[in-house]
Structure 1
Amino acid sequence: MCRNRSLRRYWVGLPMALAACTVSAANWEIAPRVAGGYRFSDNYRLSLPGAEIEVSGAEADVAATFRTVDPRTNFEITPRINATYFPNERTEDATNYFLTAGFSDVTPRRRIEVPLLFSEEDVVRSELPNAAEGGGLGEPNQGDSGRVVTRNRREFLRIEPSFAYDLSQRYRMELSAHYMQANFNNDVPNAQEDFSEFGAGAALGFNTSERSTLYVRALGFQYETSIKTDAYGGEFEWNTQSSENTRAYIRLGAQQTSPENGPSDSNIIAGAGGQWSTQRNDWFLDLTRSVGPISAGTVVERYQLRLRLKHDVSPRFAIRAGARLSRDEETQEGSYPTRKYATGELGFEWRWMRQWSLVGTYNYRWQEYADEPTDADSNTLLFGIVYEPKRAQ
């Protein structure tokens, strides 16, 4: 309970501290978003056949983005609330809270960034991520174990400051760190247990062309699950960026993972992907192999593929498609079985007015554990109306 109160202090205190850094900014933008609709799922907790829970009812999602408008220093914060009401299964009702924030300060030779994410949500959402969720390119989400049979809630915090500096026209350096912590209302052994991760990296980059850079990076981590695990390693990364929304990268490295009560293990870390934008299409493709803690109280190697596509059929109508496939294997022999997880979705958005749109999404989930007799799957539908009063176009 002590650590839960600590995270709640971040929820209130850290955004206020960040906002104080930009109180002198001359211009602010506010972009609210309100959505309401109907959700149906034939297996809400992705339970094994025979134990499915079917839900249907209302869902509301309210968010507001506050951002400064400045060519150099920017701050952005978005509080968001998501709530469901299922008349047929009132025990599955949930109100979930999210906060994303970011600070950046950019000059011709230096770049400082401090992104932050906080959430307090039901484990159905935290442990079964959909295709649209996750970090940026080369930054897959971590922590989910897929165990949601027991009702529970998770508080999650991640902050990731970074500093980049151009040493010359051809060389640059990067320093980064991150801290991640997840606390659950109730510890459920082998399913939902508090965990944390601290990591840091230092890189030297060499510009191979005007838009491409080759990095050599040293890494160090400490994972806290049911045991403490230290890790260190290094990687090579090549990336190229032709515009703000068009980028590609290739990464390859190795990591030594050393738990406090077991033998060390050597792990390959790798990634490749890109994001591209054209006049009518937005693509996102990311394939990674990473190591990190999960809520089952252990550390796993995760193979993960994320794919997203948005296609503008016309200025008012767009379709979206996405998929996420992952495979988790415990780095040490233990009680967590190999997990396979897949989710795919297909949706549309029809903007009949500048501020109003109709949206619909179909989502399919599938999961399999090596120690269970069969797999599980679910189908989900969501239809709703979105109101964005400050939308420019």
Structure 2
Amino acid sequence: MNNHISQLKVFGNITNERVKVEKLNSLIRKDRKIDLEILDSFPLNTFGESTDEVLVDGSDDLLKAFEKISDVKMDFTEALKDIEYVGLTDEKEIILRFKNEEYGEPFNGTGIYDFTYDFLDSLFEMGRFSKFCIKNSYTDLLNDNISKLIDELPETKRQYRFLKKENKMLLRGLTSTRYNNYDNNLALYLTLYSLHHYAKEYNTSICLQEAHLTDSEISIFFKQNDPIRIANVGNLHFGMYTSNNEIREGTFSLELRYTLEDKNGKSFSGLSDSVFQINHSNGIENISRKLSNTTKIREIREITMNLIKNVKLSTSLTDDSIYFIFQKVLNSTQKLGSETRSKAREIKERIDNTMTIVEAFDKLKDISTNIDERIHLERLYNEILKELN
């Protein structure tokens, strides 16, 4: 989630202010059919009265932060006959000119992030060829091929996601006309819907822990305020982790998360299982069914509780266990960078068989600040507990 044009991290100094139900209206874009369908299936009155509060501490901070990075987004479906190839920027990003009647005057769109590669690979299967040309300064060859193929395939259509930033039209990615685009505003609305009803059912309070918001993705952590005491281990805090990716075949998911803290203040967090996972191909009825399945949360909570009770968390690690834990981490070459794995090797040298699993995981939890790596590690901790059980 690094290096986005619009991004914001919410961490520390989060207030307990709860957003009013009526303010959730700002998350529904009335000019989009999918937004209105979501509102119809999950109306505001299911939260309560308009002046009631959403039962999530810090939800007011979350919405205020989201509004700051909520750039204007547009999706246009265009055939290549209505697109002109202009060229490449100095940064070798593609520039396309769109003759879109809906928008009015023709305008230029400049690729950002992975758009240039995705566009050329999706339409012409020349993503790798374009990288080769750019790397070796064969830009004239690349320009000729792009212009020729656009002329040869005039009816080829794609849906383009634009970000409007400081009066510039930026090409963020390709979206699919076959899919529902559950953008971040809807993911946030449905997340608050789920957490609000969860807090009601379990008569508990939930707080915002941390949020990473960008123009295309969100990753948000929530924690249940009241812990559960686990004998001979410590305190268990349940929580949730939600994420969404707007581009291409991204998914929107809500996962049960937990944090275990021993009597000495050592702790780690793990990701247990998905409460729901919504692909952008899912229809509204499918979403309604998934969000109304409250028994799923109860089942995952019970499974996680039993796992934590059964694993000997207060017992010292064996040499075999230490080896097993660190092999899992060090073998994650696709998910963890070399620097993170190097830090794990250093920590391994300081772990011995006088320590517990909680103490070992506590030392590992700070080896990366990258959100994607942190999420992988939390999934890995839960997987390790299952295999050691």
Same fold (TM over 0.5): no
Q: Which has the higher contact order (CA 8 A, sep 6+)?
A: 2
Query: Structure 1 length normalisation: TM-score?
Result: 0.25
Larger Rg: 2
